């Protein structure tokens, strides 16, 4: 009798030990395989990636990651080799090139896209969604009104590609008690005269991404016109602030990663990406140029400087 009890007790201990040994393998088998595809390894990319991974973990997603930093030479072949031993259930694509490569080689795999300019970069792919680096005009105007309380008229120079967007922006401005004065430019040679016409009528020049009007070659001309007319420019990225724009929108890259993780968790829970529209960043942040503030003798609330994510002086 005693022997039987000892045998049974030994068997229980053996089974518990076996279960304890097998448990990590069972957990690993249930882990989700996620491919992280990155264009660059800059600080912003690393912050976004870290925010994504850490927040997924906090959401209870057990994942195994394959991190692929794309090379400049033959990135397609590089990815094909990595996929020989890894079958992703979800892709986190950081950047335009990573997004294009994922849509071409992994079209059947749900993809969360980040660090792309706007929703057009997703090309309407039904198996992709994400967070794009574009704030809606209404959100921008709301922030401008808080940062620069005296502003009533905003100016914008644009080409035909942005005709519809400017009309939508004008409606958004009107709802906030602001006026958007726009000038359509069909030929780059008309830019100086168009800038002069608009700058004579407005309190602030609103920078709108445009393949004809606001490009690297026209940056200097736009900034000079802004300085000469004493009308501050709201730029589109920190590089514009550094070059002389009063302020420009920026991004909290860690939070972008966390926001993407929330979308990823929804997809992994069974919601198709097609039912999740691409989102703008949930946090609007900006950089500020104090030299421009001094040059234009602007009086800003103290909070404008203290709340800036970066200050150039």
Convert the pLDDT of each residue in 120-174 to its tens digit. 899 899 999 999 999 999 999 999 999 999 999 999 999 999 999 999 999 999 9
Rounded CA separation 133/251 (Å): 8
The per-residue pLDDT for 8 is 53
In 3D space, the residue among 73, 69, 61, 4 whose CA is nearest the CA of residue 34 turns out to be 61
pLDDT of residue 3: 42
Given a contact cutoff of 8 angstroms between Cβ atoms, the answer to whether 31 and 238 are in contact is no
Distance CA 50, CA 41 (A): 12
In this predicted structure, the answer to whether residue 4 has a pLDDT above a threshold of 90 is no
Q: Report the predicted TM-score, pTM, of the whole model to 2 decimal places.
A: 0.83
Which band of pLDDT confidence, cut at 50, 70 and 90, is reported for residue 27?
Answer: very low
Q: In what order do the strands lie in the sheet with 285-289?
A: 179-184, 153-158, 204-206, 233-235, 247-250, 285-289, 310-312
| Whole-number pLDDT of residue 12 | 45
- 3-class DSSP state of 286: strand
pLDDT at 22 over 60: no
pLDDT of residue 144: 95
How does pLDDT run across 257-276, given as a tens digit for each residue?
999 999 999 999 999 999 99
For residue 25, name the pLDDT band (cuts at 50, 70, 90).
Answer: very low
For position 10, what pLDDT does the model report? 54
Model confidence at 18, pLDDT cuts 50, 70, 90, reads very low
Q: 230 exposed, middle or buried (CB, 10 Å; 0-12, 13-18, 19+)?
A: exposed
What are the structural domains, with CATH classification, of the chain? Answer: 31-133+253-275 (3.40.50.2300), 137-250+285-312 (3.40.50.2300)
Give pLDDT, residue 215.
84
Q: What's the DSSP call for residue 216? A: G
The predicted-structure confidence for 70-107, as pLDDT tens digits, reads as follows: 998 899 999 999 999 999 999 999 999 999 999 999 99
State whether residue 44 is helix, strand or coil: helix
């Amino acid at each position: 009798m005693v022997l039987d009890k000892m045998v049974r007790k030994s068997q229980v201990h053996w089974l518990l030990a076996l279960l304890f040994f097998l448990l990590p393998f069972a957990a690993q088998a249930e882990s989700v395989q996620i491919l992280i595809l990155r264009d660059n390894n800059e600080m912003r990319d690393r912050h976004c990636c870290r925010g994504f991974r850490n927040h997924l973990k906090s959401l209870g997603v057990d994942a195994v990651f394959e991190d692929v930093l794309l090379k400049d030479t033959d990135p397609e072949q590089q990815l094909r080799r990595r996929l020989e031993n890894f079958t992703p259930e979800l892709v986190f694509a950081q950047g335009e090139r990573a997004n294009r490569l994922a849509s071409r080689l992994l079209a059947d795999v749900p993809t969360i896209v980040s660090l792309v300019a706007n929703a057009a970069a997703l090309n309407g792919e039904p198996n992709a969604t994400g967070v794009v680096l574009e704030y809606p005009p209404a959100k921008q105007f709301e922030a401008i009104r808080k940062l620069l309380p005296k502003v009533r008229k905003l100016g914008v120079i644009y080409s035909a590609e942005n005709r519809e967007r400017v009309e939508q922006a004008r409606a958004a401005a009107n709802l906030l008690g602001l006026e958007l004065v726009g000038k359509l430019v069909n030929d780059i040679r008309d830019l100086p005269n168009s800038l002069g016409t608009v700058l004579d009528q407005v309190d602030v020049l609103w920078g709108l991404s445009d393949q004809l009007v606001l490009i690297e070659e026209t940056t200097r001309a736009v900034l000079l016109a802004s300085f000469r007319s004493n009308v501050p420019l709201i730029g589109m990225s920190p590089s514009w602030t550094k070059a002389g724009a009063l302020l420009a929108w920026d991004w909290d890259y860690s939070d972008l990663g966390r926001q993407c993780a929330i979308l990823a968790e929804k997809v992994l829970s069974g919601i198709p990406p097609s039912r999740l529209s691409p989102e703008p960043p949930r946090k609007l942040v900006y950089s500020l140029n104090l030299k421009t503030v001094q040059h234009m003798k602007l009086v800003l609330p103290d909070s404008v400087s203290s709340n800036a994510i970066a200050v150039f002086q």
